[in-house]
Every structure is written in structure tokens, then in C-alpha cells.
């Protein structure tokens, strides 16, 4: 168990100490912005039909190259990319707002710095976690981050659990129930059609 929670403890102990929080957030935001700019540039080149530089083929994973080839085959345009990118941005903002609302629900009156920082740390741990949806690691990392930023431990844990229930377990439960009902409905239609066929 300690080995599983070690990444969360490392991030919160080494990146959230003292005055490094703002610096880490700025560096993280810069890295994310640079990554987005590079991705947009590559996507724009592919959509416009331009030839990618040779060095890009050498250092780009083959899986990503296959995605770029499929992207070009679909004849997409930059305008068509706006809706899915907008949905992605709204999804990220909803995650931050969920943590913020959970903090408010348990009585924390802070600003947006705490939920934004906790969401970024949780996203990092989610990407590095080998388990389903960062199960366990994201919760511990988010709660520890909130606690390091001044949120009382009980509020941090409660807000983390509320946000994870709303962001992961509730949609998952709704999806499982919906699939079960859909399968049940399909079986009932098949049984009803078979019964009518036999009666006819």
C-alpha cells in the first residue's frame, strides 16, 4: 500500500512546501501551454496537408503517427476541431469547479487557488497511476494537496471524496445502470418478438 501511495506523498511533500506552490503552478501552466501550442501546430499542419519535418518522424511515437495519419484521412478542418476542444476545456473547468463546490459544501471559504492546484496534482497522479482512474492515488494526492494549502484535514478529505463521487463514481454508476437497463430492454424485445412469432 505504501508503494502505491508513494507518488502522491512525493508530489505533495516536494512540490507543495513553502512558497513553491505558485512557482510550480506557473511552471506547470507554462508546460501545459507549450504542449497545447505544439499539438495545435502539428494538428494544423496535418489538416492543411503539409509535410511534417523529418525530425518529427524520428522522435514521435508510432502510435501518435498513426493517429496523425488517421486524422488526415478524415479530412477534418480547424473549424470542426473547435467543438470537441471546447468540450474538453469545459470538462477540465467542471473538474475544478466540482472541487471548489465540494470545498464550499464542507465549509471552506477559500478561493480558486486551492481547487486549481489540487486538480492539477490530481491530474498528474491520474496520468501516472497504473490503476483504474487513478483509484486511491488521486484521492490521497488531492486531499494531501488541499491540506498543504491550508484546508483542514477533515474538510480536505470530505471535499475530495465528494468531488470524486460526483466526478467518477456517480457517472460510472449511471452508465452501468443504463447499460444494464438497455441490455434488459433488448432481451425483453427479443423475447416479445419470439413469443409473437411463435403465436403467429
pLDDT in tens, 47-92: 666 676 666 666 666 766 677 677 667 666 667 777 877 887 888 8
Split into its structural domains, the chain has a count of 1
Q: Long-range CB contacts (< 8 A, 24+ apart) of 154-162?
A: 154/106, 155/103, 155/106, 155/107, 155/108, 158/102, 158/106, 159/99, 159/102, 159/103, 159/105, 159/106, 159/108, 160/99, 160/102, 160/118, 162/102, 162/105, 162/106
Cell representation of residue 157: 478529505
At 132, give phi and psi (nearest 5°).
-60, 120
The pLDDT of residue 7 is: 46
Task: Give this prediction's pTM.
Answer: 0.61
Query: Do the domain assignments include residue 195?
Result: no
Domain range for 42 is 2-172
Query: Do the domain assignments include residue 198?
Result: no
Query: Do the domain assignments include residue 115?
Result: yes
The residue whose grid cell reads 471548489 is: 100
DSSP for 58-114 reads: HHS-HHHHHHHHHHHHTT--HHHHHHHHHHHHHHHHHHHHHHHHHHHHTT----SHH
Instruction: Give which of 145, 120, 138 is closest to 27, Cα–Cα.
Output: 120
Query: Do the domain assignments include residue 188?
Result: no
Query: Do the domain assignments include residue 125?
Result: yes
Query: Do the domain assignments include residue 197?
Result: no
Query: Do the domain assignments include residue 91?
Result: yes
Q: Which residues of the chain have pLDDT under 70?
A: 1-29, 31-32, 36, 46-50, 52-61, 63-65, 68, 71-72, 74-78, 129-134, 199-200
Query: Do the domain assignments include residue 196?
Result: no
Q: Note whether 11 and 125 are within 8 A (CB).
A: yes
Amino acid at each position: 500500500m505504501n508503494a502505491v501511495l508513494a507518488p502522491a506523498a512525493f508530489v505533495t511533500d516536494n512540490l507543495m512546501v513553502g512558497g513553491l506552490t505558485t512557482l510550480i503552478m506557473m511552471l506547470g501552466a507554462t508546460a501545459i501551454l507549450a504542449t497545447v501550442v505544439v499539438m495545435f501546430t502539428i494538428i494544423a499542419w496535418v489538416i492543411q496537408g503539409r509535410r511534417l519535418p523529418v525530425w518529427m518522424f524520428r522522435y514521435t511515437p508510432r502510435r501518435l503517427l498513426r493517429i496523425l495519419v488517421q486524422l488526415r484521412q478524415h479530412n477534418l478542418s480547424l473549424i470542426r476541431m473547435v467543438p470537441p476542444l471546447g468540450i474538453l476545456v469545459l470538462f477540465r473547468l467542471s473538474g475544478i469547479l466540482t472541487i471548489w463546490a465540494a470545498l464550499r459544501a464542507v465549509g471552506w471559504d477559500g478561493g480558486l487557488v486551492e481547487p486549481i492546484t489540487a486538480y492539477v496534482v490530481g491530474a498528474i497522479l491520474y496520468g501516472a497511476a497504473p490503476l483504474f482512474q487513478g483509484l486511491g492515488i488521486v484521492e490521497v494526492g488531492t486531499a494531501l494537496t488541499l491540506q498543504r494549502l491550508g484546508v483542514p484535514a477533515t474538510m480536505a478529505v470530505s471535499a475530495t471524496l465528494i468531488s470524486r463521487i460526483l466526478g467518477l463514481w456517480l457517472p460510472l454508476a449511471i452508465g452501468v445502470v443504463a447499460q444494464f437497463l438497455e441490455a434488459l430492454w433488448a432481451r425483453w424485445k427479443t423475447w416479445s418478438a419470439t413469443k409473437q412469432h411463435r403465436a403467429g
